Amino acid sequence: MMGLISPKPSELKVEDSQVRESGPGAPSRMSVEDSQVSESRPGAPSLAERPEGWNRPPVMEPDGEGELLEVAMGPHHPSTHGVFRMDVALDGERVIRLKPVFGYLHRNHEKLAEGMSYLGSMPYTDRLDYICSLTNNWAYALAVEKLTGQEVPERAEYLRVILGELTRVQNHASSIGFLTQEMGATGTPLMYAFKAREKILDLFEGLTGSRMMCNYMRFGGCRVDASAAWLDAARKVVAGLPGFADEFERLLRTNEILMARTQGVGILRPELAVNAGVTGPMLRASGVNYDIRKVDGYGVYNRFKFRVPLGDHWDVYDRYMIRMLEMRESIKILEQALKEIQPGPVMSPTARIRGFRPKPGEAYGRIEAPKGELGFYLISNGGPNPYRYRVRPPSLINLTILEDMCLGQNVADVVLIFGSVDIVLGEVDR
Amino acid sequence: MKTIEEIKAAIEAAVPGAVVEIAPNPNPALPHSLRIAPECALAVAKFLRDDEELRLDYLSNVTGVDWPESLEAVYHLYSVEKKHGPVVIRMHTVNRRTQVELPSLTPIWRSAEFQEREIFDLYGIVFTGHPDLRRLLMWEGFKDHPMRRDYVAPDDFEYEPTAHDEVLKRAQARQAAMAGPAGSEAGQ
Amino acid sequence: MVDEGLKIELGKQGVFVTTIEELYNWGRRSSIWPMQFGLACCAIEMIATTMARYDLARFGAEVFRPSPRQADLMIISGTVTKKMAPQVVRLYNQMAEPKYVIAMGACAISGGPFKQGYNVLKGIDRYIPVDVHIPGCPPRPEALIQAFMTLQKKIDGQHLTGDGRPRFLDAEAQGEFPVPVEGEHDLEPASNKGVWPVPVVIR
């Protein structure tokens, strides 16, 4: 059976040679860090020479005669990403036009935050990207710490890294599970992903008290300390994660349906990705080396050795492989962090957590959330509530080029491409 | 990366007639921003994106802010190629009621497309030159701009068991209104 | 009604005595097929409930049907916004009788933590009748299973004749509800007075 459809070369290449060591002095085939991305591809014009409108979606002409079939995919559809609608105009099976429609989950989080204190918005940040609540908390805590100029003790930073990377593992596993579910594998890979996710959620519940809406980070540290028993349980779970990743990958990687449906589908050029503000695994799958953990070096990420996988063919298969590889890198970070964590305080004694009025000013704090760059922009006018509270949603901005990726493809691929963007509606609509 | 003064000098040198001033951050420890006049914004943005040293090719965040006299759009720019940033630029509208246009920076950075639509939806700033300026989050027939500070939300707190502050006042007013004209309304 | 002791005695002899109502309700409650309808965070807990750890399929919810025509139960999991509310009511209307609604989570019951939202519908029971409410934000998977069992008990207790008979056996009962329209500032109407009587609270 395997001899009928041989694995395409991209499948073999992605793992070995495309995982580039990032950092100075490391060998890399394409020195993406030094030169502009497009110049390393011969023949591509530089940004300044591109014609007007190069970053607009191409205008598709229908082949046949007659009218276009206009389909509204959503807001209620079996693809489990939430209430999202795409107005698709089809010529037969080919997509001619695609306009996303949002707002079905707009819960005006930003307006609520203007009426609440800084700490009062912390539980609401859980509900932004509801699969990864701890990274949302971290981004918000980082932004407020920048605004008020607070330092975070070392053990709290390690705990943040551990929880953040656990979140990333379970988010990438769920994302691959949902992607395969949209391909028709109704639920089975998702069951494997949720098996690992349940173990991680048990850890979250043991430490923070809740499986999903953890509300754990505070400005200046973490809410409660992790006991030695919890750290041992975490080490046990992390020890089982490489086996899970191996099994998950082995079952899916050479699956013919997966390869046939995802290779060559939904190609996103790197220069368009950068111009459209795409971040996270989608950007790295388009070959651009930009990981905020390496660029900003927030927290204690500088102390850990991990690589940044980059994609080569910029298609859905690359995005799936990048998430798989990033899971493995996260497991490496977890092993290092769990080994290096030292006892100490998790909250600085002079931390201003509640009832404080920061000095007037503005700050923008961002982290590498599992979906992309999650940023919080806060403007303070000296009062107890923020004057302006803005969430930079990675999922919404990653959807900017959904139309570009889907034009000309079959309508059945639209669901796959959309699944590979990996969005969460709570973040898109806030 | 250059400091904010050097960036201002570079912009003024490269884009003739650019009106740029430094908007200091009230908290001096945090980065300052550049306030740009709307007329030259497109040229300045193109320079910031294409300049050899700055190469700010990644627009991270577009925010709308509602000040008492005007509305504002704040852009956070980073560079993926040079791995530096942020550079913050801001534009103000003339006033809040009648002249609320700003030039759209979507032709320069595509990531502004949805974010500017959202600001149009929630604040009412009209971005001229935007390829597709429609509401993003609220439905098409909606008339207000909800994130503005003077927006009054529709009152659908008829049954609020633990009302307090504003909601209690509104509930008492509604109860008085219901009991006054027709007693049969109260039993509904 | 047959005496319980007699039933057991007969059962020991291999004779099974029941009523049509019991059998009918047993068949209905053991095969409730929910509709795939996840709105927000509670949807992830609903998916976790169907996964291997908290398997909801053993209670009869074997498949989650995406089409409302083939589903019996709509689990409103997550915040219902005013933009989405017409779609929810339309889907409810399209479900075939007998149909049930579980409002999962604080947002579906009353707007939840986002109650002060201009776009948030303060509870889905403003427009459609709800059978079971589950508090929580999000409710644990065990809570959803308990809600499911409560619904099963409710179906078991429904008498097929008489005044309290379920809607699908009652020709005059209303099964479809008017769909709200998106107005200029709010949904019109703001609530469905027939479904949701506004209680008077003396302040």
Residue B60 maps to which CATH number? 3.30.460.80
Residues B77 and B164 in one domain: no
| Tens-place pLDDT, residues A316-341 | 999 999 999 999 999 999 999 999 99
**Candidates C41, C91, C119; nearest CB to A130:** C41
Q: What number is the average pLDDT over the span A149-168?
A: 92
Supply the DSSP string of A44-94, one letter for each residue. PPPGGGSPTTTTSPPPPPPSSSSPPEEEEE-SS-SSTT-S-EEEEEEETTE
Domain edges within chain C: 33-158
Q: What ipTM was assigned to the predicted interfaces of this complex?
A: 0.88
Residues B163 and B102 in one domain: no
Q: Contact, C95 vs C35, CB < 8 A?
A: yes
Nearest Cα of chain B lies from the Cα of A95 at a distance, in angstroms, of 19
Residues B117 and B161 in one domain: no
Retrieve residue C83's tokens: 């933009």
- B170, part of any domain: yes
Q: Tell me whether residues B153 and C182 touch, CB distance under 8 A.
A: no
Residues B73 and B157 in one domain: no
In this complex, the chains that touch B, judged by 3 or more CB pairs closer than 8 A, are A, C
B52 sits in which H/E element: none
Using CA atoms, how far residue A72 sits from A63, C37, C170, in Å, is 21, 17, 35
- Percentage of chain C beyond pLDDT 70 is 97
Burial C67-104 (b: 16+ CB within 10 A, else e): ebeebbbbbbbbbbbbbbbbbbbebbeebeebbbbbbb
- B188, part of any domain: no
Nearest CA in chain A to B68: A387
Residues B28 and B108 in one domain: yes
Instruction: Please check the confidence at residue C200 and state whether its pLDDT lies above 70.
Output: no
Report the C-alpha gap between A231 and A228 in whole angstroms: 5
Local confidence band at A40 (pLDDT 50, 70, 90 cut-offs): very low
Q: Contact, C119 vs A107, CB < 8 A?
A: yes
In this complex, the chains that touch A, judged by 3 or more CB pairs closer than 8 A, are B, C
The 10 Å Cβ neighbour count of residue A58 is: 10
- Each residue's pLDDT, cut to its tens digit, for chain B (188 residues) gives 778 888 888 888 888 887 888 888 888 878 888 898 888 888 898 888 888 888 888 999 999 999 988 899 999 999 988 888 788 999 999 888 888 889 999 888 999 999 999 999 999 899 998 888 888 888 888 888 888 888 887 776 666 667 777 777 777 777 777 776 544 444 33
| Tens-place pLDDT, residues C142-163 | 999 999 999 999 988 888 887 7
Residues B65 and B118 in one domain: yes
CATH architecture of C33-158: 3-Layer(aba) Sandwich (3.40)
How many folded domains does chain B comprise? 2
Residues B107 and B176 in one domain: no
Retrieve residue A336's tokens: 């290092």
Q: Which of A383, A387, A396, A384 is CA-nearest to residue A422? A: A396
Q: Structural domain of residue B165, as residue ranges?
A: 153-183
Residue A25, pLDDT score: 28
Q: Which residues from chain C sit within 8 angstroms of residue A198, using beta carbons?
A: 48, 51, 53
| Tens-place pLDDT, residues C62-103 | 788 888 898 889 999 989 998 889 989 999 999 988 889 999
Q: Tell me whether residues A361 and B65 touch, CB distance under 8 A.
A: no
- In words, the CATH class of domain A59-429 is mainly alpha
Q: Tell me whether residues B138 and A103 touch, CB distance under 8 A.
A: yes
Residues B11 and B92 in one domain: yes
